[in-house]
Copies of this chain bind each other. A is one copy, B any other.
């Protein structure tokens, strides 16, 4: 293999630039040529492809977002789109790919490999940490810290005004972001997709607190839990407890941006290196991840179809620590 391409795709995540830097420099270190592909599969189809040097990735390790930009591509989901993409890669002489993204990205890469045989390795870049095959995804640690920083600020107000705050955090269909926010944010209750918490139990907990003069509470709500998010939960709960002063805060898109934490930069660097080294060693169609701090390659087939479980111990921790 002499020439590889790299792209970022799907939702952006802090650390994608650090990963990209590792991919480019590891390639250069090992004597490969490396091309950047802009806007994910869209740029692959449209030939937005350019040569990258070691200096192309100077001073980006600390930046949020992705310098290659990201997009979701409908055209790549068609046979014609993938043919165009393949033609572009042929034109540029690209023999292998590194994909930084999530399961949508890897689904595309798998399909592409099956049809055209282009070997691809993936680095898990998503704030949601919902990918099988790695303990942590790139961007997750930053997103949790960003959310927690917001919760710290909100608690200043909650505490000063003796209010109940219903705070919604991201995480798609999992509670990975919500749980450390609840434990680290000193929350009384956490609602996540993986564990049913009834509206009644929230009402009971808040009423019990109220009766012992505990008038300030924080409830962390994962966007994917089944009651439908912070606004709906707050409305239902406050109907039963009109005496309490409640507010809703949806942390929102800030969780996707910002300078990556040390953890995310290190993880991104390790996995970027692993993708290039893996391609050189002939690996393909797999995602690089870390499990128990060790590097592991998992077939895209598995990362796409299997589900990573969140330990039920964590919700118990929230209950115990909010006593």
Binding site for B on A (CB under 8 A): 8, 11-12, 14, 16, 18, 21-22, 25-26, 28-29, 39, 54, 58-59, 61-66, 69-71, 135, 141, 144-146, 148, 150, 152-157, 159-162, 165, 180-181, 183-186, 247, 249-250, 252-254, 256-263, 265-266, 269-270, 273, 292-293, 317, 320-323
Contact = CB atoms under 8 A, between A and B. Distances in A.
Contact of A183 (B63, B64, B181, B265): B265
6 contacts: A16-B160, A70-B160, A145-B262, A154-B253, A273-B317, A292-B292
Given A258-B152, A266-B183, A323 B29 contact: yes
**Number of copies of this protein chain within its complex:** 4
Nearest to A291: B292
Contacts of A145: 261-262
Name which of A150, A252, A257, A262 has the most chain B CB atoms within 10 A of its CB. Answer: A262
B156 A323 contact: no
Contact of A320 (B26, B71, B160, B180): B26
Contact of A262 (B11, B14, B159, B184): B184
A321 B25 contact: yes
Contacts of A157: 12, 64-65, 253, 256-257
A321 B183 contact: no
A28 B141 CA distance: 31
Contact of A61 (B22, B185, B253, B266): B185
B135 A293 contact: yes
A159 B159 CA distance: 24
A156 B12 contact: yes
Given A8-B160, A157-B256, 16 more contacts: A11-B161, A12-B156, A25-B320, A61-B185, A62-B152, A63-B156, A145-B262, A152-B257, A153-B257, A154-B254, A154-B257, A156-B256, A180-B262, A270-B317, A273-B320, A273-B321
